[in-house]
Structure 1
Amino acid sequence: MKIIIAAGTGFLGRNLEEYFKEKGNQVYILTRKPKRKNEFHWDAKTLGEWKNLLENADVLINLTGKSVDCRYTEKSKREIYSSRINSTKVLRKAVDYCTNKPKLWLNASSATIYIHSETQMNTEENGIIGDDFSMNICKSWEKEFFSPDHEDVRKVALRTSIVLGNNGGAFPKLKLITKAGLGGKQGNGNQKVSWIHIVDFCKAIDHIIDHENISGIINITAPNPLSNEELMMELRKQIKISFGLNAAVWQLELASVFLKTETELLLKSRNVYPERLITSGFRFLYPNIESAFKNLLQPFTSAKTKDF
């Protein structure tokens, strides 16, 4: 296949590139700072020569968006919004230019589109979507993606949970604070954590590509969310750390100022279930957190795990 990954130099993009290259596919990356032969410059808001890559592409994957791991200043909010909306808009223009359009367009979204819930399990069909900054960003993002529709392009919005891997994302930070003795619960610890192993993330994307009946919204997450307290307890167990200091909400609020982030990333309860993946026949290699942590903590385990 010919696969285009927009913003493909980050954690998810690097792993997807490796996964699909190992299967013999051609992978091209759109990035602000191209360094390799398969990387092409784009600024995520204006058309350029890169648009020619989309001609006869099998898959277009858009992962563009300013990281939400920042303080939600008015400037940051504007950048979080515009980076997602503008990149989706310009990709739509590029798709419109194509004589032979990409067969499939996968666009990033987020499991944070659902409300804070410790009891309500959010599937694609019954998930409850609320009204705050983060949820409204996701709603606007998906609206821009699906409208106007391209009848001859299959579109899938990826409502992705926290992705766990050794070469980026949240897991290296979680491992670091746990080894430092700070791996207790955050807040009351009841907030649900939805997550997925990086290998299952890549395989889920592959599954969607292979199953032409899948379109629209899909939750990209493991089937067993667990509480923050349970998550940290299991990580301490796997690392063989007997204790972990808890962090009260006021301590997290104070620390978030110095770390230039927001407590929402730790305290929001994301209780999400991958109903469409499962009903379409997808099988997780790491369905529970114990198996995921065991794999990630193996000596010399890397992004190119043998499970690829």
Structure 2
Amino acid sequence: MKIIIAGGTGFLGENLDKYFTEKGNQVYIFTRNPKRKNEIFWDAQTIGEWKNSLEKADVLINLTGKSVDCRYHEKNKQEIYSSRIESTKILQKAVDQCSEKPKIWLNASSATIYVHSEKHLNTEEDGVIGDDFSMNICKSWEKEFFEVKNDDIRKAALRTSIVLGKNGGAFPKLKIITKLGLGGKQGRGNQMVSWIHIDDFCKAVDWIIQHETISGIVNVTAPVPLSNENMMKKLRHKMKMPFGLNAPVWQLEIASLFLNTETELLLKSRNVYPEKLIKNGFQFSYPGFDEAILNLLES
């Protein structure tokens, strides 16, 4: 297959690039700073020569968007919003101009679209969507993506949870704080954590591409969310750390100022279930947190 990954130089893009290349596919990355042969310049705002690469592509994956791991002041909020909306909009414009359009377009979204939920398990069918900055970003993003319906393009929005991998994302940070003896619960610890192993993330993307009946909203997350307290306990146990200091909310608020991030990323309860993937027969390599971290802690 010919696969285009827009905004593909981050943690998820690099892993997808490797996964699909190893399977013998041609992968091209759209990026502002092309460094390798398969990378093509784009500014995520205007049509350029990159548009020609979309011709006869089998798959378009759009992962473009400023990281949400920052302070939510007005400038960053605007960049988080516009980087997602503008890139989706310009890709649609480019796709519309193609004589041979991509067969499937997967657009990033986030499991953060669902409300803080400790009890209710959010599926694609009965997920509860709320109204705050993060949720509204996701709603606008998906609205922009599904605005135009091309009969010959299958579209899927990936509501992805926290992705755990050795070489990026949240896991290396969790390992460090656990090693330092700070691996206790964060806040009250009863917020649910939805997560997925990077290998399963790549496999799920491939599965969606291969299964033509899957479209629309897809929760890309492991089937067993767990509480923050339970997650940290399992991590301490596997890393043979006898203790981990708890971090109350006030401490996290101070730390987040120094770390230039927001406490929402740790304290929001994401309780999400991948009903569409499961119903379509997807098999997780790491359905539970224990087997996932055993694999991730292997050197």
**Shorter-chain TM-score tier:** over 0.9
Shift of 1:151: 1.4
SS in 2 for 1:28: strand
Deviation at 1:3, TM superposition (A): 0.1
Distance 2:261 2:35 in 1: 30
1:135 aligns with 2:135: yes
Whole-Å separation in 2 of the counterparts to 1:177 and 1:115: 27
Unaligned stretches of 5+ residues in structure 2: none
Q: For residues 232-261 of structure 1, give each alpha carbon's deviation from its aligned partner in whole angstroms, at most 9, with x where no partner exists.
A: 000001111010000000000111111110
Alpha-carbon distance, 1:280 to partner: 0.2
Q: Which residue of 2 aligns with 1:293?
A: 293
The equivalent of 1:16 in structure 2 is: 16
User: Aligned to 1:5, what secondary structure does the other structure show?
Assistant: strand
Distance in 2 between the 1:75 and 1:21 partners? Answer: 37
Runs of 4+ in 1 over 3 A off after TM superposition: none
**What is the percent sequence identity of the aligned residues?**
75
Secondary structure of 2:107's aligned partner: strand
Alignment-derived partner of residue 225 in structure 2: 225
Partner of 2:74: 74
* 1:149 shift after superposition: 1.2
CA distance in structure 2 between the aligned counterparts of 1:8 and 1:262, rounded to whole angstroms: 24
Q: Which residue in 1 is equivalent to 2:117?
A: 117
CA distance in 2, matches of 1:203, 1:259: 32
Question: 1:61 is aligned with what amino acid?
Answer: I
Describe the SS at the equivalent of 1:3: strand
Deviates more, 1:120-129 or 1:144-153: 144-153
Determine the structure 2 residue equivalent to 1:208.
208
Structure 2 equivalent of residue 155 of structure 1: 155
Looking at structure 2, the residues matched to 7 and 172 of structure 1 have their Cα atoms a distance apart, in angstroms, of 22
Q: Distance in 2 between matches of 1:57 and 1:95?
A: 10
Q: TM-score, normalised by structure 2?
A: 1.00
Deviations 1:151-194 (A, max 9, x none): 11000000000000011100000000000000000000000000
- Alignment partner of 2:109: what SS? strand
Q: How many residues align?
A: 299
Q: Secondary structure at the match of 2:184?
A: coil
Tell me how large the CA RMSD over aligned residues is. 0.4
Equivalent position SS for 1:136:
helix
Q: Deviations over 1:91-110 (max 9, x none)?
A: 00110110010000000000
Paired letter, 2:79: E
Letter in 2 for 1:118: E
Distance (Å, rounded) in 1 between the aligned partners of 2:272 and 2:49: 39
Which residues of structure 1 form unaligned runs of 5+?
Answer: 300-308
Task: Give, in whole Å, the separation in 1 of the partners of 2:150 and 2:116.
Answer: 33
Q: Indicate the residue corresponding to 2:188 in structure 1.
A: 188
Alignment pair present for 1:179 and 2:201: no
> Could you tell me how far 1:264 is from its partner in structure 2?
0.2
- 1:32-51 equivalences in 2 (<5 Å): 32-51=32-51
1:25 aligns with 2:34: no
Q: What is the aligned partner in structure 1 of residue 258 from structure 2? A: 258
Letter in 1 for 2:179: K
- Write the letter of the residue equivalent to 1:122: N
Q: TM-score, normalised by structure 1?
A: 0.97
Partner of 1:302: none
Give a deviation string over 1:272-304, Cα, whole Å, max 9, x none: 0000000000000000000000000012xxxxx
Counterpart CA distance in 2 for 1:138 and 1:40 is 27
Partners of 1:19 and 1:37 in 2: how far apart? 17
Q: Deviations 1:81-127 (Å, cap 9, x if unpaired)?
A: 00000000000011011001000000000000000000000000000
Aligned to 1:279: 279
> 2:151 is aligned with what amino acid?
E
Name the aligned partner's letter for residue 51 of structure 1. K
Give the whole-Å Cα distance in 2 for the aligned partners of 1:216 and 1:8: 22
Distance across 2 between alignment mates of 1:295 and 1:144: 37
Partner SS state of residue 49, structure 1: coil
- Aligned equivalents of 2:208, 2:197: Cα separation in 1: 17
2:242, 2:203 → 1: CA distance? 34
- Residue in structure 2 matched with residue 91 of structure 1 by the alignment: 91
Q: Which residue of 2 aligns with 1:303?
A: none
**Secondary structure of residue in 2 paired with 1:276:** helix
* Deviation at residue 150 of structure 1 after TM alignment: 1.2
Q: CA–CA distance in 1 between the matches of 2:165 and 2:8?
A: 16
User: For residues 32 and 12 of structure 1, what CA distance do their matches in structure 2 show?
Assistant: 17
